């Protein structure tokens, strides 16, 4: 009979218990023993929930104390030299040091996990000698079995994907690195087999992207060795996020199961199944239920898909599962009773997806009629949402259709705008600024809560915000920054803040997902047509400008980032959602300009993460993403300087698209990646204003002036000093006041030293 499974489950807990434990440990409120105990409680509680749900194959080992890629690196003793690791199991101080940095050593690079908003820690292979420090999947398997009686499915990140996600080695050395890693993987698998494990899930999402690293010869060598090492262990070779690139080679591998994504790679995977069939000696893990989306599954469509699959795979060789780990969605819809009823009934988070998977597994075994009542209810909920007036605003649709036919070009090109802007603003060489936010202290958060609960009046809260702006405008002037910001003290999250002020959005109480480390975000839900309803940022920005003679930047989040960091409707194309957001944000840009704000930053950190994984689809996405940005900013006058900001993605392959956005200045992360982006500017010019982030704000350390001076010096060998800005790599919201001021003082001193150096060479 058909079985059910998922590929992973959220770590954070319904009330973010995981986050609270991590941060208590980091702050010294929990010692190591208490922290380990709390993490075990959280880990077992989630397993109990999965056990009670009736899921047949429960994943174990997908839980992490920070990040699953970092876990794999630590398991193999792959620790950068600067952390003074001397072998053996990686101690938490080193593990978290790699992730967050220490006073002595910079953190490892953090970047996006494929095209999601989850960030992983990039393994650094250079100078390391892999060895098995601990068998993490085995430990997880035994804990679940011995404590709860669960015959779990250990989850392991596969070697090809691990290498693809790593840095510090040459592609020509891929096979040499496989020779180092494969014996360690084989030992992990042998020990699992000896312990009685029946299935192991080996995640290889890299197989959905064309790459030499995943050649059929390498695949055969890797999985042939695994089969020899543990011949009685069933391996589920799991792919997700898209269709596989080399289906014919993958189905020939000596594994017992192959997992395919039929949510995001449905058409291509189904086409491959029809064309080439499916091996009679393998199990298909069919990712029917979307593990990344929050909408109720169309059970009717799911049943139809299962009927298509049944032509090639009988139910006794089928596992109905999520398309990817449920890490990317909130835990449960339960408790979201403040949402509009029509919307709430159309939602499905992790726990609700467990129910959908079980229903579809039942349909695969007994036929669609076995779940007819549930299917009718799911279709009615989705149809009611699509018919709702919020999704059918003719005024918005007409206005967006009108602007979407234009390219969104500014009146003059950058080469003509830039001298006009410099004449107006009279900024020094290598101007300094920040990305936008300043520390949100406990007092700031408490004040916001008191206002939201009605304990403070709006007048009292507004007065508090003005006090914060006064304080930080003064500090920025005293530190010596050239372009100031108001600090964003009134904002919770850079997307949520704008969503709360635009039509078409809804917000959950507990819809948290992990973004990186203990950082959890609560993405808004774009469920209707987006519309501007009034100025959103003008009051605070104009107030800050009234307190200083130096220019103050207006701060907005861009249309593509708002879209990519939200859960979005699926009844219209994402391109149309981006244009709706662009039209709404354009009206805010114009309102800022009318209020006298002549520098406006429209942040687009999430443009890169929305890039389709399939190369053939990327050009189309970039074209409309760039256009959405330009539609937002194109109506300002020539002397208004448009800034944007990007961070924590691989940007080197889309510098042409970044240039096409035509922002006067882009600030872009480079410190966390240890200046690697600079290398691309050494071979590829960038003709617009640019600021490469000179220090990592996610690390709890104050960078030395010399570190930043070195970064600036290297950048100025490749970039025009007349167009170069100096700034941190991201907003300072999560940092403490003392470290923020100290770091910015060092940054300004580094800028002054760089100015002297440039002047000396002229």
Q: Residue ranges per domain, the chain? A: 3-330+340-389, 413-761
The reply to whether 730 sits in an annotated binding site is yes
The reply to whether 16 sits in an annotated binding site is yes
Portion of the chain with pLDDT greater than 70, in percent:
97
- For the cut 70, the answer to whether the pLDDT of residue 648 exceeds it is no
Backbone CA torsion sign across 708, 711, 717, 721: negative
- For the cut 80, the answer to whether the pLDDT of residue 616 exceeds it is yes
Ranking 8-12, 29-33, 94-98, 440-444 by mean pLDDT, the lowest is 440-444
Measured in degrees and rounded to the nearest 5, phi and psi for residue 503 equal -75, 150
Instruction: Tell me the pLDDT band of 697, cut-offs 50, 70 and 90.
Output: confident
For residues 344-353, give the mean pLDDT.
Answer: 98
* C-alpha closest to that of 121 among 65, 183, 174, 42: 65
Q: Quick: pLDDT tens for 40-87.
A: 999 999 999 999 999 999 999 999 999 999 999 999 999 999 999 999
The reply to whether 173 sits in an annotated binding site is no
* pLDDT of the residue at 686: 83
The reply to whether 113 sits in an annotated binding site is no
The reply to whether 179 sits in an annotated binding site is no
* pLDDT of the residue at 715: 86
Q: What is the 3-state secondary structure (H, E, C) of 643-694?
A: EEEECCCCCHHHHHHHHHCCCCEEEECCCCCCCHHHHHHCCCCCCCEEEECC
Using CA atoms, how far apart are residues 131 and 176, in angstroms rounded to an integer?
15
The reply to whether 124 sits in an annotated binding site is no
CB 483 within 8 A of CB 744: no
* C-alpha closest to that of 631 among 410, 377, 477: 410
The reply to whether 436 sits in an annotated binding site is yes
* C-alpha closest to that of 51 among 171, 165, 151: 151
Q: Quick: pLDDT tens for 273-296.
A: 999 999 999 999 999 999 999 999
Q: May I ask the CATH class of domain 3-330+340-389?
A: alpha beta
* pLDDT of the residue at 287: 98
CB 16 within 8 A of CB 514: no
3-state SS assignment for residue 182: helix
Mention every residue, 6+ apart, whose C-beta is less than 8 A from residue 653. Answer: none
Q: Which two tokens stand for residue 711?
A: 């970064």
Burial 73-107 (b: 16+ CB within 10 A, else e): bbbbbbbbebbebeeeebebebbbbbbbbbeebbb
The reply to whether 435 sits in an annotated binding site is yes
Portion of the chain with pLDDT greater than 90, in percent:
86
CB 130 within 8 A of CB 180: yes
Measured in degrees and rounded to the nearest 5, phi and psi for residue 319 equal -120, 120
* pLDDT of the residue at 662: 96
| No. of helices (H) and no. of strands (E), the chain | 27, 21
Q: Which two tokens stand for residue 324?
A: 């990817």
Using CA atoms, how far apart are residues 262 and 319, in angstroms rounded to an integer?
12
Backbone CA torsion sign across 189, 195, 200, 202: negative
Using CA atoms, how far apart are residues 421 and 693, in angstroms rounded to an integer?
22
Q: Quick: pLDDT tens for 123-139.
A: 999 999 999 999 999 99
The reply to whether 637 sits in an annotated binding site is no
- For the cut 90, the answer to whether the pLDDT of residue 395 exceeds it is yes
CB 621 within 8 A of CB 610: yes
* pLDDT of the residue at 671: 58
The reply to whether 669 sits in an annotated binding site is yes
The reply to whether 647 sits in an annotated binding site is yes
Using CA atoms, how far apart are residues 323 and 360, in angstroms rounded to an integer?
13
Using CA atoms, how far apart are residues 95 and 441, in angstroms rounded to an integer?
27
Whole-number mean pLDDT of the chain? 94
The reply to whether 466 sits in an annotated binding site is no
Using CA atoms, how far apart are residues 542 and 23, in angstroms rounded to an integer?
36
Measured in degrees and rounded to the nearest 5, phi and psi for residue 202 equal -105, 110
Ranking 427-431, 629-633, 698-702 by mean pLDDT, the lowest is 698-702
Instruction: Tell me the pLDDT band of 392, cut-offs 50, 70 and 90.
Output: very high
* pLDDT of the residue at 701: 77
* pLDDT of the residue at 677: 65
The reply to whether 519 sits in an annotated binding site is yes
Using CA atoms, how far apart are residues 691 and 644, in angstroms rounded to an integer?
10
Using CA atoms, how far apart are residues 284 and 615, in angstroms rounded to an integer?
26
Taking each helix axis from N to C terminus, what angle separates 458-479 and 442-452, rounded to the nearest 10 degrees? 160
In the 8-state DSSP scheme, what is residue 124?
B
* pLDDT of the residue at 762: 63
Taking each helix axis from N to C terminus, what angle separates 136-148 and 32-53, rounded to the nearest 10 degrees? 60
Using CA atoms, how far apart are residues 39 and 16, in angstroms rounded to an integer?
12
Helices (H), 195-310: 216-229, 247-250, 266-276, 299-310
Instruction: Tell me the pLDDT band of 382, cut-offs 50, 70 and 90.
Output: very high
For residues 595-618, give the mean pLDDT.
Answer: 93
* C-alpha closest to that of 584 among 612, 610, 556: 556
| Residue found by looking up tokens 């961070």 in the block | 647
| Residue found by looking up tokens 């898209």 in the block | 242
- Specify the fold of 413-761: TIM Barrel (3.20.20)
Of the residues 328, 486, 643, 698, only one is catalytic, namely 698
* pLDDT of the residue at 714: 86
In the 8-state DSSP scheme, what is residue 354?
H
Q: Within 10 A of 352 (CB to CB), how many other CB atoms are there? A: 20
* pLDDT of the residue at 647: 75
> Across the beta sheet with 665-668, what order do the strands follow?
553-557, 599-603, 641-646, 665-668, 689-692, 724-725
The reply to whether 565 sits in an annotated binding site is yes
The reply to whether 353 sits in an annotated binding site is no
Count, residues in the chain: 762
Q: Quick: pLDDT tens for 544-575.
A: 999 999 999 999 999 999 999 999 999 999 99
For residues 287-308, give the mean pLDDT.
Answer: 97
Same fold, 3-330+340-389 and 413-761: yes
* pLDDT of the residue at 694: 84
The reply to whether 456 sits in an annotated binding site is no
Instruction: Specify whether 698 is catalytic.
Output: yes
- For the cut 80, the answer to whether the pLDDT of residue 699 exceeds it is no
The reply to whether 693 sits in an annotated binding site is no
For residues 230-236, give the mean pLDDT.
Answer: 98
3-state SS assignment for residue 341: helix
Measured in degrees and rounded to the nearest 5, phi and psi for residue 592 equal -65, -45
CB 135 within 8 A of CB 191: yes
Instruction: Write the DSSP string, 625-649.
Output: HHHHHHHHHTTS-TTSEEEEEE-SS
Q: Quick: pLDDT tens for 462-515.
A: 999 999 999 999 999 999 999 999 999 999 888 999 999 999 999 999 999 999
Using CA atoms, how far apart are residues 629 and 556, in angstroms rounded to an integer?
12
3-state SS assignment for residue 64: coil
């Amino acid at each position: 009979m058909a079985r059910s499974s998922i590929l992973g489950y959220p770590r954070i807990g319904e009330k973010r218990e995981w986050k609270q434990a991590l941060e208590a440990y980091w702050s010294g409120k929990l010692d190591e023993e208490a922290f380990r105990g709390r993490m075990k409680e959280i880990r077992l509680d989630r397993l109990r929930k999965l056990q009670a749900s009736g899921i047949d194959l429960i994943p174990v080992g997908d839980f992490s104390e920070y990040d699953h890629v970092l876990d794999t690196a630590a398991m193999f003793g792959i620790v950068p030299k600067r952390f003074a690791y001397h072998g053996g199991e990686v101690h938490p101080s080193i593990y978290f040091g790699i992730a967050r940095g220490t006073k002595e050593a910079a953190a490892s690079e953090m970047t996006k996990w494929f095209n999601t908003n989850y960030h992983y820690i990039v393994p650094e292979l250079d100078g390391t000698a892999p060895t098995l420090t601990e068998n993490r999947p085995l430990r997880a398997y035994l804990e679940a079995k011995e404590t709860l009686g669960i015959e779990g499915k250990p989850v392991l990140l596969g070697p090809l994907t691990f290498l693809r996600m790593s840095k510090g080695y040459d592609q020509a050395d891929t096979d040499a690195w496989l020779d180092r890693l494969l014996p360690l993987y084989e030992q992990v698998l042998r020990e699992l087999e000896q312990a009685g494990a029946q299935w192991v899930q080996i995640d290889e999402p890299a197989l959905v992207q064309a790459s030499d690293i995943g050649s059929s010869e390498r695949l055969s060598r890797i999985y042939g060795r695994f089969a020899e090492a543990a011949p009685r262990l069933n391996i589920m070779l799991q792919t997700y996020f898209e269709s596989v690139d080399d289906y014919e080679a993958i189905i020939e591998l000596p594994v017992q199961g192959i997992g395919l994504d039929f949510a995001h790679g449905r058409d291509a995977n189904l086409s491959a199944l029809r064309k080439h069939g499916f091996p009679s000696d393998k199990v298909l893990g069919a990712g029917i239920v979307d593990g990344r989306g929050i909408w109720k599954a169309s059970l009717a469509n799911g049943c139809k898909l299962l009927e298509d699959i049944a032509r090639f795979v009988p139910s006794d060789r089928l596992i109905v599962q999520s398309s990817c780990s449920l890490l990317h969605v909130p835990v449960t819809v339960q408790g979201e009773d403040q949402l509009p009823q029509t919307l709430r009934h159309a939602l499905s988070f992790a726990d609700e997806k467990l129910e959908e998977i079980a229903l579809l597994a039942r349909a695969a075994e007994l036929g669609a009629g076995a779940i007819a009542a549930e299917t009718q209810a799911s279709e009615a909920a989705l149809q009611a949402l699509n018919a709702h007036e919020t999704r059918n605003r003719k005024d918005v649709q007409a206005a967006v259709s009108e602007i979407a036919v234009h390219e969104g070009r500014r009146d003059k090109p950058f080469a003509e705008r830039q001298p006009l802007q410099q004449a107006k603003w009279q900024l020094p060489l290598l101007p300094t600024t920040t990305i936008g936010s300043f520390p949100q202290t406990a007092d700031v958060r408490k004040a916001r809560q008191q206002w939201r609960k009605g304990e403070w009046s709006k007048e009292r809260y507004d007065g508090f915000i003005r006090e914060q702006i006064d304080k930080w405008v003064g500090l920025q002037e005293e530190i010596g920054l050239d372009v100031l910001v108001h600090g964003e003290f009134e904002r919770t999250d850079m997307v949520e803040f704008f969503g709360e002020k635009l039509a078409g959005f809804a917000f959950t109480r507990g819809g948290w997902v992990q973004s990186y480390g203990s950082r959890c975000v609560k993405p808004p839900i774009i469920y209707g047509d987006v519309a501007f309803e009034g100025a959103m940022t003008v009051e605070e920005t104009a107030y800050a400008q009234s307190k200083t003679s130096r220019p103050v930047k207006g701060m907005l989040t861009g249309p593509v980032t708002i879209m990519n960091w939200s859960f979005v409707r699926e009844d219209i194309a994402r391109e149309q959602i981006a244009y709706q957001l662009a039209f709404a944000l354009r009206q805010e840009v114009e309102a800022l300009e009318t209020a006298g704000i002549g520098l406006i930053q429209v942040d687009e950190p999430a443009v890169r993460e929305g890039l389709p994984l399939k190369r053939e689809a990327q050009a189309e996405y970039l074209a409309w993403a760039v256009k959405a940005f330009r539609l937002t900013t194109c109506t300002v006058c020539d002397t208004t300087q448009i800034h944007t900001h990007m961070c924590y993605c691989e940007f080197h392959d889309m510098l042409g698209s970044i240039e096409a956005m035509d922002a006067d200045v882009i600030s872009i992360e480079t410190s966390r990646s240890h200046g690697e982006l600079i290398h691309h500017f050494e071979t590829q010019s960038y003709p617009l204003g640019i600021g490469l982030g000179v220090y990592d704000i996610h690390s709890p350390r104050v960078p030395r002036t010399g570190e930043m001076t070195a970064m600036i010096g290297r950048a100025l060998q490749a970039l025009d000093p007349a167009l170069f800005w100096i700034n941190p790599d991201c907003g300072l919201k999560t940092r403490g006041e003392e470290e923020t001021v100290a770091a910015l003082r060092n940054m300004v001193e580094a800028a002054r030293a760089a100015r002297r150096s440039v002047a000396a060479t002229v």
